[in-house]
């Protein structure tokens, strides 16, 4: 099913802002299309935005870049961040850096990995302790995106 990525991001961000009363700055400079499972992509975005919300206080940013025939979506927070050592473990089921700091169970990122696999998307986390975290989702675009 062909999905308008710009539109999907707008609706996902809008429902997130409403649910959590948190402002998200969205930047998607052009219309991009891809063949994907809309529901799974929304769930994946939600996991990263939810973590950005839980582990930061400042405004969350979501931006999209087109690189060749791929789109890279970045979910950026300026929150507590993680050490490189923790970054290697956070995709493990039930792993949490600081159990007292979270309301969850350490499941979000292991689910994100499964969703990314199903979507044939690459995901990657960049983080610096005390500075913040960026989650990246890289997806193959469909042909009609390349002419816009
Ligand atoms: P949930 O089960 O609700 O997802 P969770 O947030 O603890 O709970 P994960 O999403 O799997 O579980 O994240 C695992 C751990 O990685 C978190 O407990 C947290 O320590 C760390 N983490 C994830 N995202 C961030 C982030 N954006 N900033 C700082 N730490 C993060």
Which residue's CA lies nearest to atom 13 of ligand 1? 106
Q: Kindly list the distances between the CA atom of residue 52 and the CA atoms of 2, 132, 144, in Å, as whole numbers in the listed order.
A: 28, 9, 32
Structure-token pair, residue 45: 């975005």
- Separation of CA 69 and ligand 1 centre (Å): 30
pLDDT band for 57, please (50, 70, 90 cuts): very high
pLDDT tens readout for residues 18-54: 999 999 999 998 899 999 999 999 999 999 999 999 9
Report the share of the chain in percent with pLDDT over 90: 81
**ipTM of predicted assembly, 2 dp:** 0.97
Task: Quote the CA–CA distance of 137 and 135 in Å, as a whole number.
Answer: 7
Q: Name the 3-class secondary structure at 46.
A: helix
Substitution candidate for ligand 1 out of 48, 104, 125 with most atoms within 8 A of CB: 104
Q: CB–CB of 24/49 below 8 Å?
A: yes
Q: How many CB atoms lie within 10 A of CB 38?
A: 17
> Per-residue pLDDT for 97 more than 60?
yes
DSSP assignment letter at 147: G
Model's pTM, two decimal places?
0.94
CA 111, chain centre distance (Å) = 12
Greatest CA separation found in the chain?
A: 49
> Per-residue pLDDT for 128 more than 90?
yes
pLDDT at position 106: 86
Task: Quote the CA–CA distance of 114 and 118 in Å, as a whole number.
Answer: 6
Mean pLDDT of 66-84: 96
> Per-residue pLDDT for 132 more than 90?
yes
């Amino acid at each position: 099913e062909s999905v308008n990525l710009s539109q999907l991001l707008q609706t996902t961000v809008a429902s997130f802002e409403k649910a959590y009363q948190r402002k998200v700055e969205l930047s998607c400079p052009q219309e991009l299309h891809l063949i994907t499972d809309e529901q799974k992509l929304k769930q994946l975005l939600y996991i990263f935005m939810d973590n950005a919300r839980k582990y930061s206080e400042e405004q969350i940013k979501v931006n999209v870049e087109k690189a060749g025939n791929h789109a890279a979506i970045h979910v950026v927070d300026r929150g507590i961040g993680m050490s490189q050592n923790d970054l290697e473990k956070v995709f493990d089921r039930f792993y949490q850096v600081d159990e007292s700091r979270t309301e969850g169970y350490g499941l979000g990122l292991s689910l994100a990995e499964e969703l990314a696999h199903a979507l044939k998307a690459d995901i990657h986390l960049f983080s610096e302790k005390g500075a913040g975290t960026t989650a990246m989702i890289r997806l193959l675009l469909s042909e009609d995106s390349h002419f816009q």
